[in-house]
Amino acid sequence: MKNKNDGTSDGLNQIFEIINAKGDEGELREIVENNENQSSEIRSQQ
């Protein structure tokens, strides 16, 4: 189970990924899909 700091770290990493994507639509879609998958996994564990 992740603790609060792990979630914060994941969120910050995602922000940096978005910034580094620099408008690359394919990369931005991949980031969104990964986030949706992670959110689904978290909901199923609760």
pLDDT by residue (tens digit) across 6-45?
777 888 888 898 898 888 899 999 988 988 887 777 778 7
Q: Is the pLDDT of residue 2 over 70?
A: no
Tokens representing 6 are 């792990």
Please state whether the predicted TM-score (pTM) of the whole model is above 0.75: no
Give CA–CA dist 15/36, Å, rounded: 15
CB-based contacts of 8-16 (< 8 A; 24+ apart in sequence): 10/38
The per-residue pLDDT for 26 is 92
Do the beta carbons of residue 18 and residue 31 sit within 8 Å? yes
Q: Find the radius of gyration of the CA atoms of the chain.
A: 12
Residue 4 binned pLDDT confidence (cut-offs 50, 70, 90): low
Do the beta carbons of residue 14 and residue 36 sit within 8 Å? no
